[in-house]
């Protein structure tokens, strides 16, 4: 059986490394993805059905646009046999075409299948996604490439963040007190 931690790490490895084949080690074949976009700097479908569809949205199409992707779960890894897990996340990446840097944050809500430990449902909230000029790439990558990956505490995640006013909302969100799990996260 796969653990919740392994499923989450495989998802991050697949997305960040543009490796859709790894999603078979993360999601059930009939998994669902729900996206709550609270920013207009990215566009994703609100609902996606099936592991293949999730791979198209979060790995293949995403990988056509972005590179240098680092995604962090801002929480300790979950115990092996949890049914659900919620955590904040932080991401940094660059646009392949413009060179612009994106730094964003939000929340993951995971539901795992009891028998396999694979993700049955993932709800992603994108709270903030900031766009910085390409000239900021070196500073942002120097920052995120030294963080514990993919599990990092919020304090450690922002400790050496570049001094950019553009990142203030992201830093405030990441360091704000953790939100209590929502009863309605899975509708």
Two tokens, residue 64: 């056509």
Give the global pTM: 0.92
Q: Which fold has domain 4-175?
A: Nuclear Transport Factor 2; Chain: A, (3.10.450)
- Amino acid 81: pLDDT: 85
> Residue 60 pLDDT more than 50?
yes
The C-alpha atoms of residue 138 and residue 140 are separated, in whole angstroms, by: 6
Confidence class of residue 53 from pLDDT cuts 50, 70 and 90? very high
Coil/strand/helix, residue 37? strand
Q: What is the mean pLDDT of residues 136-165?
A: 95
Q: Is the pLDDT of residue 182 over 60?
A: no
- Sheet of strand 27-37: strand arrangement: 47-49, 27-37, 119-132, 101-112, 84-95, 66-73
Task: Say if residue 100's pLDDT is above 90.
Answer: yes
Percent of the chain with pLDDT over 90: 86
Backbone φ and ψ for 142, nearest 5 degrees, come out as -65, -35
Are β-strands 101-112 and 119-132 bridged in parallel, bridged antiparallel, or unpaired? Answer: antiparallel
Structural domain spans, the chain: 4-175
Helix, coil or strand: residue 41: coil
């Amino acid at each position: 059986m796969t653990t919740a931690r392994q499923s989450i790490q495989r998802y991050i490895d697949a997305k960040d490394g543009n490796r859709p084949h790894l999603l078979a080690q993360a999601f059930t074949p009939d998994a669902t993805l729900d996206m709550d976009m609270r920013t207009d700097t990215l566009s994703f479908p609100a609902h996606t059905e099936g592991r293949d569809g999730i791979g198209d949205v979060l790995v293949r199409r995403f990988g056509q646009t972005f590179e240098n992707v680092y995604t962090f779960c801002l929480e300790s890894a979950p115990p092996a046999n949890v049914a659900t897990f919620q955590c904040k996340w932080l991401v940094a990446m660059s646009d392949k075409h413009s060179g612009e840097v994106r730094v964003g944050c939000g929340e993951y809500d995971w539901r795992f299948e009891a028998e396999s430990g694979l993700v049955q449902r993932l709800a992603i909230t994108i709270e903030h996604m900031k766009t910085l000029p390409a000239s900021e790439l070196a500073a942002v990558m120097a920052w995120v490439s030294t963080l514990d990956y993919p599990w990092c505490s919020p304090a450690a995640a922002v400790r050496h963040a570049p001094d950019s006013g553009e990142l203030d909302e992201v830093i405030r969100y990441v360091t704000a007190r953790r939100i209590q799990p929502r009863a309605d996260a899975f509708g």
